[in-house]
Protein backbone atom coordinates (compact mmCIF):
# COMPACT_ATOMS: atom_id res chain seq x y z
CA UNK A 1 0.00 0.00 0.00
CA UNK A 2 2.92 2.36 0.55
CA UNK A 3 3.56 2.44 -3.20
CA UNK A 4 -0.08 2.74 -4.26
CA UNK A 5 -0.60 5.37 -6.91
CA UNK A 6 -3.50 6.78 -8.89
CA UNK A 7 -1.53 6.22 -12.10
CA UNK A 8 -2.05 2.77 -13.65
CA UNK A 9 1.42 2.73 -15.25
CA UNK A 10 3.08 3.22 -11.87
CA UNK A 11 0.87 0.55 -10.29
CA UNK A 12 1.81 -1.85 -13.10
CA UNK A 13 5.49 -1.16 -12.45
CA UNK A 14 5.13 -1.60 -8.68
CA UNK A 15 3.24 -4.87 -9.14
CA UNK A 16 5.76 -6.20 -11.68
CA UNK A 17 8.73 -5.31 -9.48
CA UNK A 18 7.09 -6.82 -6.41
CA UNK A 19 6.18 -10.04 -8.21
CA UNK A 20 9.67 -10.29 -9.71
CA UNK A 21 11.29 -9.82 -6.31
CA UNK A 22 8.95 -12.44 -4.84
CA UNK A 23 10.03 -14.94 -7.53
CA UNK A 24 13.68 -14.10 -6.86
CA UNK A 25 13.19 -14.62 -3.12
CA UNK A 26 11.49 -17.97 -3.75
CA UNK A 27 14.09 -19.24 -6.22
CA UNK A 28 17.12 -18.18 -4.16
CA UNK A 29 15.68 -19.29 -0.83
CA UNK A 30 16.43 -15.99 0.85
CA UNK A 31 15.47 -12.35 0.81
CA UNK A 32 19.03 -11.02 0.45
CA UNK A 33 19.15 -10.89 -3.36
CA UNK A 34 15.76 -9.22 -3.57
CA UNK A 35 16.81 -6.60 -1.01
CA UNK A 36 19.97 -5.79 -2.98
CA UNK A 37 17.99 -5.49 -6.23
CA UNK A 38 15.46 -3.20 -4.53
CA UNK A 39 18.29 -1.06 -3.13
CA UNK A 40 19.96 -0.81 -6.55
CA UNK A 41 16.60 0.10 -8.09
CA UNK A 42 16.05 2.89 -5.55
CA UNK A 43 19.62 4.15 -5.99
CA UNK A 44 19.24 4.34 -9.76
CA UNK A 45 15.96 6.25 -9.42
CA UNK A 46 17.60 8.68 -6.98
CA UNK A 47 20.54 9.19 -9.36
CA UNK A 48 18.08 9.84 -12.18
CA UNK A 49 16.29 12.38 -9.99
CA UNK A 50 19.60 14.07 -9.18
CA UNK A 51 20.54 14.18 -12.87
CA UNK A 52 17.18 15.84 -13.60
CA UNK A 53 17.77 18.34 -10.75
CA UNK A 54 14.66 17.02 -9.01
CA UNK A 55 13.56 18.00 -5.55
CA UNK A 56 13.73 15.12 -3.05
CA UNK A 57 11.48 16.89 -0.58
CA UNK A 58 8.74 17.90 -3.01
CA UNK A 59 7.42 14.36 -3.09
CA UNK A 60 6.85 12.14 -6.07
CA UNK A 61 3.83 12.82 -8.24
CA UNK A 62 1.75 9.64 -8.25
CA UNK A 63 -1.45 11.18 -9.55
CA UNK A 64 -3.30 9.80 -12.56
CA UNK A 65 -1.51 10.71 -15.77
CA UNK A 66 1.81 11.39 -14.05
CA UNK A 67 3.51 8.51 -15.86
CA UNK A 68 3.31 6.80 -19.23
CA UNK A 69 4.06 3.59 -21.07
CA UNK A 70 7.77 4.31 -20.47
CA UNK A 71 7.27 2.41 -17.19
CA UNK A 72 7.17 -0.75 -19.30
CA UNK A 73 10.96 -0.46 -19.65
CA UNK A 74 11.83 -0.93 -15.95
CA UNK A 75 8.99 -3.47 -15.70
CA UNK A 76 10.56 -5.51 -18.48
CA UNK A 77 13.95 -5.20 -16.79
CA UNK A 78 12.52 -6.56 -13.52
CA UNK A 79 10.95 -9.51 -15.34
CA UNK A 80 14.23 -10.15 -17.18
CA UNK A 81 16.21 -10.22 -13.92
CA UNK A 82 13.68 -12.63 -12.40
CA UNK A 83 13.93 -14.83 -15.51
CA UNK A 84 17.73 -14.87 -15.26
CA UNK A 85 17.53 -15.92 -11.61
CA UNK A 86 14.96 -18.59 -12.48
CA UNK A 87 17.21 -19.83 -15.31
CA UNK A 88 20.26 -19.88 -13.01
CA UNK A 89 18.40 -21.96 -10.40
CA UNK A 90 16.65 -24.30 -12.84
CA UNK A 91 18.82 -27.34 -12.09
CA UNK A 92 18.75 -27.07 -8.33
CA UNK A 93 15.22 -25.70 -8.03
CA UNK A 94 14.30 -23.32 -5.27
CA UNK A 95 16.58 -23.37 -2.24
CA UNK A 96 15.02 -25.33 0.60
CA UNK A 97 15.83 -25.83 4.24
CA UNK A 98 17.44 -29.22 4.84
CA UNK A 99 15.49 -31.71 6.92
CA UNK A 100 16.69 -32.13 10.47
CA UNK A 101 16.91 -35.53 12.06
78 three-class SS: helix
- Residues ≥6 apart with Cβ < 8 Å to 8: 64
In this prediction, residues 6-19 reach a mean pLDDT of: 88
The string of pLDDT tens digits covering residues 38-95 is 999 889 888 887 888 766 655 566 667 666 788 889 899 999 999 999 999 888 877 6
Give phi and psi for 56, each to the nearest 5: -60, -35
Model pTM above 0.85: no
What is the pLDDT confidence band of residue 9, given thresholds at 50, 70 and 90?
confident
pLDDT at site 70: 84
Q: Is 74 left (phi over 0), alpha (psi -120 to 50) or beta?
A: alpha
Task: Work out the widest C-alpha separation in the chain, in whole angstroms.
Answer: 59
Amino acid sequence: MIHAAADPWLNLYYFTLGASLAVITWRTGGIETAVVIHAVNNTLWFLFLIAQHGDFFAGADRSAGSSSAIMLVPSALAVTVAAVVWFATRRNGPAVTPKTV
